[in-house]
Amino acid sequence: MHPHPATTVTETKIVMSDPTALGVFGLSMVTFVAASQKMGWTSGVTYLVPWALFLGSLAQIWASTIDFRKNNYFGAIVLGAYGLFWVAVAMHWAISLGWLGKIDANADPRQLAFACIGYTIFSLFIMIAAFEANKVFAAILVCINILLPALAISILMKGTAIGELSHKLAAWSELLISLLGFYAAGAVFLNSYFGRVLLPLGAPLGLIRKGPAKTGA
């Protein structure tokens, strides 16, 4: 009898590109459009909803899922967290506009302020990690940690001088986030495409070393 022929096993590896540029571009676009409203260049939030849903949320969440598959922990968590934030904000706007039906008489839009406070707490942790990613991402996270509490204060103290000042601070910080994000998205795209650094993102600050803590001799 002839022995069974050897079975040939072919392994197919799917290589996925870095989605960071797309995710950061989504963040940049939605913050740019939203900043135009806060700066007074445009008015209302009706036409902000599609940008929040498709750029702020869908682009970032999709990029997050790719980063999870690529084991890019930082990108997966950051893009996913902020992508979900924009889903919730879009829903908040849609409810306030009456798109989902009659608004409950007890509805309190100030709850968005507490969501911003919660995201500020988490963003402080993300900022620490961003310091060890690159300087542009670190600057974006610093601005996010100015934007979120400023938004919370502007909502909770609406109609007061402090509320107006916080609104202006939120507007300028959001605009800066978008501009830094456009640069970061462009830098990641060009650097990845050409395989070398064309636009620098800045070296990590090197304040915290990754890996297990060193033990004494």
pLDDT digits (tens, 9 = 90+) for 14-63: 556 789 999 999 999 999 999 999 999 999 999 999 999 999 999 999 99
> Domain coordinates of the chain in residue numbers?
20-99+110-194
* Contact indicator for 17, 46 with CB cutoff of 8 Å: no
At 75-87, the pLDDT tens digits run 999 999 999 999 9
pTM, entire model:
0.89
The length of the chain in residues reads 217
**DSSP-assigned letter for residue 46:** G
Straight-line distance from the first to the last Cα atom of the chain, in angstroms, rounded to the nearest whole number: 66
Q: Classify domain 20-99+110-194 by CATH number.
A: 1.25.40
